Amino acid sequence: MSLAQRCTNMHTLKPTHAIFISHGLHLNNYAVSKLIAFCALSDSGNLRYASLLFNQVQTPNTYMYNTLIRAHSTSSDPHLAMHCFRLMLNQSDLEPDNFTFHFVILGCVNCGWIVPGRQIHSWVVKNGMVIVDAHVQTALLRLYAECRVLGDVHKGKWIHEYVRKRKGLDSDVFIGTALVDMYAKCGCIDLAVEAKRNVVSWSAMIGAFGVHGYAAEASSFLERMQVDDGIKPDGVVLLGVLMACTHAGLLEKGRLCDAFELIRRMPMKPLASLWGALLSGCRIHNNVGLAEIAVE
17-53 confidence digits (pLDDT tens): 676 666 666 667 787 888 888 888 887 778 998 898 8
- Which residues have CB under 8 Å from 243's CB, separation 6+? 207, 210, 211, 218
Q: Write down the pTM of the prediction.
A: 0.53
Residue 227, C-beta contacts closer than 8 angstroms, at least 6 positions apart: none
The predicted pLDDT at position 239 comes to 64
In which domain, by residue range, is 222 found? 200-296
190 falls within a domain: no
Is 68 inside any structural domain?
Answer: no
CA-to-CA distance for 241 and 221, rounded, in angstroms? 9
Residue 114 lies in a domain: no
**At 46, which amino acid appears?**
N
Residues 24 and 130: their CA atoms lie apart, in Å, by: 40
Which of 40-44, 185-189, 250-254 has the largest mean confidence?
Answer: 40-44
Q: Is residue 204 part of a domain?
A: yes
83 in any annotated domain: no
Burial class (CB within 10 angstroms; exposed 0-12, middle 13-18, buried 19+) of 12: middle
Query: Average pLDDT of 141-170?
Result: 55
Domain count of the chain? 2
Is 276 within a domain? yes
7 has pLDDT over 90: no
Q: What is the pLDDT of residue 247?
A: 59
Query: Which of 67, 104, 111, 63 has its CA nearest to residue 85?
Result: 104
- The pLDDT of residue 150: 42
Question: Is 213 among the domain residues?
Answer: yes
Question: Residue 19 domain-assigned?
Answer: yes
Residue 54 pLDDT class (50, 70, 90 cuts):
very high
Residues 6+ apart with CB under 8 A from 240: 203, 206, 207, 208, 209, 210, 218
What mean pLDDT value characterizes the chain?
71
Amino acid, res. 154: H
Structure confidence by residue, pLDDT tens digits, 81-102: 999 999 998 887 888 888 888 8
Alpha-helical regions (H) of 134-268: 134-147, 150-165, 173-185, 189-194, 199-212, 215-227, 235-248, 256-264
